[in-house]
Structure 1
Amino acid sequence: MREADETTRQRLAGALRAEPATPSELAVKLDLTPESVLRHAEHVSRSIDGDETDEQFLVAPPTCRECGFDSFDDLLNVPSRCPSCKSESISEPAFTIE
């Protein structure tokens, strides 16, 4: 299938099968906004999990750069501040499909 014929979600899944990436990295690569990447990633996650293949949608959680907190409730989101230390220095989650 040519890249022009692929949907955004197919291109996103293909990029995540190739290598792990953050929403910002995927936004640049796929010419989207990070918010749009997060919405599409949620759908890709559900389709991979409901698929009959052995693939898994994996998420490395966002992490506070100040205190190391990484137990955020929503892994498919970029939190604005740490609930533990209130720092705004939060790394983005990273996604991959294995």
Structure 2
Amino acid sequence: MREADETTRQKLADALREEPATPSELATRLDLTPHAVVRHVEHVSKSVDGTDEQLLVAPPTCRDCGFDDYDDLLNLPSRCPDCKSESVDEPTFTIE
């Protein structure tokens, strides 16, 4: 398949097979917004379900207190629910 024929989700899945990445990194690479990347990752996770691959998610983490027990791993939290800091690292996705 030529690169021009690939869908955004196929490109996203291929990128995640190559190396782990955050929504912002993928957004830059694929010319999307980070929130659009998260929506696409939700669909990619369903696509790999039932195959020998799996989507792995390193959770968002607060840089101030270390909190990483978010309810929704496929999310871009704006602040930490524990200490209310806005210094939160994005989740990191990969397909293995």
Whether these two folds match at TM > 0.5 is: yes
Match of 1:46 in 2: 46
Match of 2:28 in 1: 28
- Equivalent residue runs for 1:14-93 within 5 Å: 14-49=14-49, 51=50, 53-93=51-91
Cα offset, 1:63, TM superposition: 0.1
Q: In structure 2, what residue type is equivalent to 1:26?
A: L
Cα offset, 1:27, TM superposition: 0.3
Q: 4+ residue stretches of structure 1 with deviation over 4 A?
A: none
Q: TM-score, normalised by structure 1?
A: 0.95
5+ residue gaps in structure 1? none
RMSD between superposed Cα atoms in Å: 0.7
5+ residue gaps in structure 2? none
Cα offset, 1:54, TM superposition: 1.1
**Mapped partners of 2:80, 2:33: distance in 1:** 23
Aligned-pair identity in percent equals 78
Q: TM-score, normalised by structure 2?
A: 0.97
